[in-house]
Structure 1
Amino acid sequence: MPRHLLASGVLALLTASMPAASAAADSGTPVCEGSMGYASAFDGRRTFLWRPDWLETVKARLATDPTLQPARVAMLARADGALTRGPYTVVDKTQMPASGDRHDYMSMGPYWWPDPARPDGLPYVRRDGQFNPERATNAFDLSDLEAMSQDVQALSLAYYFTGDERYGAQAAAFIKTWFLAPETRMNPNFNHGQAVPGRVSGRAEGVIDATRLVRVVESLGLLDASPALTDAERAALRDWFAALVEWMATSPIGREEKAATNNHGVYYDMLISEFALYAGMDEVAQTVAERFKQARIAPQVAPDGSLPLELTRTRSLHYSTWTLTAAFDLAQLGSCVGVDLWNWQSADGRSLRSATRFMAGWAGRETEWPWPELDKTETTGLYEVFQRGAWAWNDADLAADAALYRERNAELDLNLRLPPYAP
């Protein structure tokens, strides 16, 4: 089905169409223009979260800043390693999805374990926050999806930073194997994501496994400068993601995940927007971003700025920052379709900024966090939230908060969703 017709059907299921909004930007700042992304400011490269000015700044600093040389070496080592790995595919897992089709992606819920009270361990029981290593085995597809997306990202970045076509060609080969080759391609659905042995063959929570595909979409933008993918292959990839958008909007599992009222709902909105923009379905992305105000921010952010449903988790600090990073991604994607989520607030003050201020109240004293948290030494999320918040609102206090965590999270300065900080 043509993508523009898919978009119409998806919109009808998501919500009524929203009025168009005009995007505004400071003079000289690159503008994300709907499904064209930053192409007009980036020599035709169609990225959405990876801003060309940030990429160019990082590229220049990698060449001159000695403090980033370890990160540069590590990035190129990952890309060089990827030249000898793969390709990856969903068809080589040892378990069969309930559908009977090996082309269907399959993973296991991360916090589910064999029941020690039963000889066969079935049905599995939940231990929130405790990862079962079985999920990362070749019985499932998660480890291959993670490796494929990490390698594609490393290769595409190495291609951008060095111009070496070997990296672009290998990234394209991985992409064609995973998405396009008839004998190895993944079907565009997550019907069997986060299955639980003895309970269910797939859950709505499995949609969140698709976060790895965001790396692929942004990497495809960098590969727009490479001859390693043909125009026909690029069109086929857009069709694949359009089909995934349709599945997310129409399938029982996709619609259940859309109805989630915690971090899963936020991630659903971010993911469907990213994939819709790549597929050329601008109206879908605009509708989701506009709906995000009343459907996510207003009910999920408390008047004090906390995220109450995330505070109930055994990893509440992690889930609070993890939810905000997805919301920030959607705010960036919303700017592509003229929706300002950065500065929206409800009548009683619930907003992304108030949620960020709440987290900033714990800057430098995360070990005093009073809610459940299995690992209070994890500061990656705090650094990202403060660094991106400092950029979004030109907030010097948040920049100072980010500085508290910069040294121990230096590798994140090559995370291209982060604005490069001033040395």
Structure 2
Amino acid sequence: MGPRKSEIEYVNLELVGECNATTIPGADPVLAEALTNAKKLADGALTKGPYSITKDKKVPHVAASGDIHDFLSYAPYWWPSDKNDGTYIRKDGQRNPDVSLLQDQSQLEGLAEQLLYLCLGYQVYKKVEYADHAVYLLDVFFVDPLTKMNPNVNYGQVVRGSNHSPVGRPDGIISTRTLAQVANIVPVLFDFPGYQRIANPISTWFQNYGQWLLASDLGQKTAARKNNHASWYMVQLVMVISTFGLPTTPTPSLSQPVIDKLRQFISNTLPQQIDMKTGDQPLENQRTRPFHYLVFNLQALIYIAQWIHHQQPKQSGADSLFRCLDVDAYLTKAVDYLVSYDTKKTNEDPTEAVRCVQQMKLRREKTMGDQDILVKKQQRFIDKAKAGDMAGKVSGPKNTIYWLWSR
């Protein structure tokens, strides 16, 4: 049983920047392991790619626009009906295997994962080969006219069948959430000479994508949702625009409309997502795989929280908003609910929650100490999950490098 593909999380590049190859001899064992594995993953990434949503794309698996550069994904829980009349019906939690006929999402996720390893490797080890390959992957995916992706998700999670429209749905924006990981890690390359050739096209791409998220009908409908779709929308919105800006304000910053959406999300959506009395997330707990969705939404919320905590002074308004509304109280309550959840009743994998619990434990430990009751409870959950039947899911190099930005 190998390790699962990790969900994205906010990478604090300032903390990563404090590490370098000379750190290893005097490093604590956990950091030394993270540094060693960062090199191992970066070396492996040199052989991966390139990635493109145009790869092997052929009719009928092309967006209704007819443009192979338009991102396309199929709604995973929709199946042909028993009527055999070309209509589709929804079966929540039952993934239709033929959604894998499309490679757009897996290509994007492959790019984001390998780019993470290459950029971390370059930042720590200063090896030019890592940066060169990262630039090559970015060029193919976002810049090259033959292979680039268009900066929109107009055809995300399309529901097939004669009873549905061939255009995308608000749900589809979740299919491109790893674009936030790309926007998060690319700044490592900003001062690399080889990046300058694609710097303007990359910035333009993400500025246009940020504008699409903000202004498109699908973007606005997703922002108005109450469940994990709204959370992952916010992850993309704040990360993309804080890194690249918008077409009208290309300096990386948060425009007033983005701050307004962030305020709306934290003030109104978050309290509807997490019950502060119990820590339950009712909208996620009603799904057929409740534990999975409880974790999935929490991953996005922790990303947003970590991002706000690490903002530059120019985003201090957002940070003040965060502290004022005490998002950590919601997250702490939700994590406490998770670590008490009986996954045997739903036959789910407890290791899915390990990273969430680790992140919140590290945060709480810094202020409350390792003898805090909740910190101890969180550690017991982590230890039990890592000793269980699914321990292999949270093993290997991918599950150690987090210490570079989380310590």
Equivalent of residue 184 in structure 2, options 218, 231, 235: 218
* More displaced stretch, 175-184 vs 397-406: 397-406
Per the alignment, residue 127 of structure 2 pairs with: 164
The alpha-carbon deviation at position 151 of structure 1 amounts to 1.0
Q: C-alpha separation between the residues in 2 aligned to 1:268 and 1:417?
A: 26
The normalised TM-score by structure 2 is 0.78
Quick check: 1:414 aligned with 2:380? no
Per the alignment, residue 124 of structure 1 pairs with: 88
Equivalent of residue 233 in structure 1, options 183, 187, 198: 198
Alignment of structure 1 residues 185-200 onto 2, 5 Å: 185-198=148-161, 199-200=164-165
**SS of structure 1 residue aligned to 2:288:** coil
Per the alignment, residue 282 of structure 1 pairs with: 254
Equivalent of residue 205 in structure 1, options 151, 159, 171: 171
Alignment of structure 1 residues 53-202 onto 2, 5 Å: 53-56=15-18, 64-66=27-29, 74-92=37-55, 93-94=57-58, 95-115=61-81, 117-119=82-84, 122-137=86-101, 139-198=102-161, 199-201=164-166, 202=168
Per the alignment, residue 4 of structure 2 pairs with: none
Change (3 A) 1:354 1:394: same
* More displaced stretch, 392-401 vs 310-319: 392-401
Alignment of structure 1 residues 365-376 onto 2, 5 Å: 365-367=340-342, 374-376=348-350
Change (3 A) 1:127 1:79: farther
Q: How many residues align?
A: 364
The normalised TM-score by structure 1 is 0.76
Deviations 1:96-123, CA, capped at 9 Å, x for gaps = 11011111011112223343x2447x43
Per the alignment, residue 334 of structure 1 pairs with: 308
Change (3 A) 1:111 1:60: farther
The alpha-carbon deviation at position 288 of structure 1 amounts to 2.9
* More displaced stretch, 171-180 vs 64-73: 64-73
Amino acid in the other structure paired with 2:15? D
Q: C-alpha separation between the residues in 1 aligned to 2:95 and 2:31?
A: 32
Of all paired residues, the percent bearing the same amino acid is 26
Q: C-alpha separation between the residues in 1 aligned to 2:130 and 2:40?
A: 12
The alpha-carbon deviation at position 125 of structure 1 amounts to 3.0
Is this contact kept in 1: 2:52–2:107, CA < 8 A? Answer: yes
Q: C-alpha separation between the residues in 2 aligned to 1:274 and 1:169?
A: 24
The alpha-carbon deviation at position 332 of structure 1 amounts to 3.3
**SS of structure 2 residue aligned to 1:366:** coil
Amino acid in the other structure paired with 1:261? K
Instruction: Structure 1 unaligned segments of length 5 or more: list them.
Output: 1-47
The alpha-carbon deviation at position 239 of structure 1 amounts to 1.6
Per the alignment, residue 5 of structure 1 pairs with: none
Q: C-alpha separation between the residues in 2 aligned to 1:362 and 1:76?
A: 33
Change (3 A) 1:299 1:66: closer
Per the alignment, residue 269 of structure 1 pairs with: 234
Is this contact kept in 1: 2:276–2:333, CA < 8 A? Answer: no
Q: C-alpha separation between the residues in 2 aligned to 1:242 and 1:75?
A: 30
Per the alignment, residue 318 of structure 1 pairs with: 292
The alpha-carbon deviation at position 56 of structure 1 amounts to 2.5
Change (3 A) 1:359 1:228: same
* More displaced stretch, 311-320 vs 77-86: 77-86
Is this contact kept in 2: 1:55–1:416, CA < 8 A? Answer: no
**SS of structure 2 residue aligned to 1:193:** strand
Deviations 1:4-53, CA, capped at 9 Å, x for gaps = xxxxxxxxxxxxxxxxxxxxxxxxxxxxxxxxxxxxxxxxxxxx842412
Is this contact kept in 2: 1:297–1:352, CA < 8 A? Answer: no
Is this contact kept in 2: 1:289–1:330, CA < 8 A? Answer: no
